[in-house]
Amino acid sequence: MNIQSLLEANVKEGFKKLYDTEIPSVEFQATRKDFEGDITVVIFPLLRYKKGNPVQIGEELGNYLVENIQEVSKFNVVKGFLNLVIDDSFYINFFTSIATNEQYGYVTSDSDARMVEYSSPNTNKPLHLGHVRNVLLGYSVSEILKAAGHKVYKTQIINDRGIHICKSMLAWKRFGNGETPDSTGLKGDKLVGNYYVRFDKEYKKEIGDMVAAGLSAEDAKKQAPIFIEAQEMLRKWESGDPETVELWKKMNGWVYDGFDVTYKNIGVDFDKLYYESDTYLLGKDIIEQGLKDGVFFRKEDGSVWCDLTEDGLDEKLVLRSDGTAVYMTQDIGTAIQRAKDFTDLNGMVYTVGNEQDYHFKVLFLILKKLGYNWSEQLYHLSYGMVDLPSGKMKSREGTVVDADDLMDEMTNTAREISQELGKLEGYSNEEKEVLYNIIGLGALKYFILKVDPKKRILFDPQASVDFQGNSGPFIQMAYARVQSILRKTTFDYSTTISGIDLHEKEKELIKQLELYPEVIQQAAKNYSPAVVANYTYDLVKEFNSFYQNVSILGEENENKKIFRVQLSKKVADTIKSAFRLLGINVPERM
């Protein structure tokens, strides 16, 4: 039991005995640095249940706690704040209980199943910087939910059909001369992405020629021969034309191979894949049933809508007048299909940019109106855009920052900065390259994940590889520092230690470790890896202060020396554990 849980139970009991009144909760906060104490009970909220002077109530509660629980050694009251000094024995016993627990902070139950959808790329281009934030968020939230006690299914829906796919197919057919990933040495997703850019170039050229010949820009966009041909290719695909379907399968296969390489390099995976080509007709039968049940209504032109005006939204189209589905139809059908595929599912998390906020409000509301109870457990993990100092990215113009290129750049940046700092003497070239990759990817992931998902990010690769401040490399370096201490340790440090007086810095470090389980639960509740990232930074700052203020291997008292090595190791284990939840590796040496 952590100190807060112990104190809450005793403050409630004390309040009942002192004032014959039950209180529902107790508010705690860290004791201010300028007062003596380890944890503070805020008295003011308790005045709702017991009228009186907050200082007097604080004094009476403080005396009760000192007399009745050995963990509280003394107290002081400042205005409405009861500052409690916790006996060293509590922190030593607590530390002993977690020191060798490799799963510390994790809940092993997996009874509550959740599905997390992330990435969901189009098969006409490589993954880019925007996808990087998406996959890092989705993967990290999946790992955090697992650590918090949930069973998790990681999934994506691959957008493998539509006019944008046909654009790259047509451009390859026209200009590709049969080239393949093997013949060009390019990853398949990059090759196909090049033809998406080529289509846009040719399309703009045709529009320019037609406008020069006297056509309006709007008409030229609709009548450009290459665009009309792409629309025809889409019609052929939808009708099952063998040649078109074969080309579609071949080029998508190239892209999937490329995606697999990127996912492996960035360190994410999936349990189940869905494809839009399989799901785009889902939902139409649901719409028909919803019409019968009065959830939807049909307009005079035959289109089907859902009236959400009483819910503060608007009317939403769910089926066109010609009977074809819209994205909403497909998403309704896919959500229901997933619930059928995974019968133990108790919620879904959609990792999608904030430009789709309204779409998901509507989706979740419609599913609720259709009577699906699990709709209450749907969550849109909405995130802001990632900007670069150079400006906005555009896929069709080829100005997107490719995910593979970004990872290479991060490794190169880590290499340059490490060489400037001269930190890697005695490493082989192979060891250096592995380390550059760990540092570079760690910097990228931490820079993105330390920010609240809802906030927009300006990503600066150079600034992210910073060995000082709130950065991945700064935290990795603390882990490596502890490994260096452990390598230099020549004695057995597995002995259980008790009966020592704690240095102030040791106590602060244990208090920080004590927070870890609650941090995981909070991060899971808020679907926010930033909670874990910033906790880890705080832990490292506390460790660095400890490292600078106390002697570890040079300590003369044998028990204190063993305890400090154990404490350092537990900090490193917790860094590694927390970074695993963020998908970040830690190096043994730096």
DSSP 411-447: HHHHHHHHHHHT--TT--HHHHHHHHHHHHHHHHHHH
CA 120 → CA 2, 275, 350, 381, 570, distances in Å? 41, 9, 10, 14, 38
Q: Which pLDDT tens digit goes with each residue over 222-253?
A: 999 999 999 999 999 999 999 999 999 999 99
Classified by CATH at the fold level, domain 403-581 comes out as Isoleucyl-tRNA Synthetase; Domain 1 (1.10.730)
Q: How many CB atoms lie within 10 A of CB 587?
A: 18
Phi and psi torsions of 140, nearest 5° = -65, -45
Measured CA to CA, the distance from residue 290 to residue 298 in angstroms comes to 11
Instruction: Please tell me the predicted confidence (pLDDT) of residue 471.
Output: 94
Residue numbers in the chain where pLDDT is lower than 50: 392-398
Residue 223, Ramachandran bin (φ over 0: left; ψ between -120 and 50: alpha; else beta): alpha
**83 bridge partner residues:** 40, 76
Instruction: Please tell me the predicted confidence (pLDDT) of residue 421.
Output: 76
Q: Which two tokens stand for residue 412?
A: 């190169």
* Cβ-Cβ contacts under 8 Å for 568 (sequence gap 6 or more): 482, 485, 486, 543, 547, 552
Instruction: Please tell me the predicted confidence (pLDDT) of residue 399.
Output: 55
DSSP state of 120: -
Q: Is 353 helix (H, G, I), strand (E, B) or coil?
A: strand
Instruction: Please tell me the predicted confidence (pLDDT) of residue 393.
Output: 41
Q: How many CB atoms lie within 10 A of CB 314?
A: 12
Measured CA to CA, the distance from residue 491 to residue 51 in angstroms comes to 58
Measured CA to CA, the distance from residue 140 to residue 528 in angstroms comes to 9
DSSP state of 385: -
Query: Would the CA dihedral through 445, 446, 452, 455 be positive or negative?
Result: negative
Question: Which residue's entry shows tokens 């750049």?
Answer: 409
CA 117 → CA 22, 259, 348, 383, distances in Å? 44, 16, 8, 14
Residue 318, Ramachandran bin (φ over 0: left; ψ between -120 and 50: alpha; else beta): alpha
Q: Do domains 3-86 and 403-581 have the same CATH topology?
A: no
Question: Which residue's entry shows tokens 């990127």?
Answer: 262
Measured CA to CA, the distance from residue 587 to residue 438 in angstroms comes to 7
Measured CA to CA, the distance from residue 69 to residue 85 in angstroms comes to 12
Instruction: Please tell me the predicted confidence (pLDDT) of residue 396.
Output: 44
Classified by CATH at the fold level, domain 3-86 comes out as Gyrase A; domain 2 (3.30.1360)
Structural domain spans, the chain: 3-86, 162-253, 403-581
DSSP H helical ranges for 38-128: 54-68, 88-98
Phi and psi torsions of 423, nearest 5° = -90, -10
Instruction: Please tell me the predicted confidence (pLDDT) of residue 226.
Output: 97
Measured CA to CA, the distance from residue 363 to residue 330 in angstroms comes to 10
Contact 445, 536 (CB under 8 A): no
Q: What is the CA radius of gyration of the chain?
A: 29
Quick one: which H or E segment has residue 211?
A: helix 188-212
Measured CA to CA, the distance from residue 342 to residue 105 in angstroms comes to 28
- The mean pLDDT value of the chain amounts to 94
Measured CA to CA, the distance from residue 195 to residue 251 in angstroms comes to 11
Answer yes or no: pTM beyond 0.85.
yes
CA 258 → CA 245, 355, 404, 497, distances in Å? 20, 27, 10, 53
Quick one: which H or E segment has residue 31?
A: none
Q: Which pLDDT tens digit goes with each residue over 334-353?
A: 999 999 999 999 999 999 99
Measured CA to CA, the distance from residue 481 to residue 589 in angstroms comes to 8
Burial class (CB in 10 A: 0-12, 13-18, 19+), 73: middle
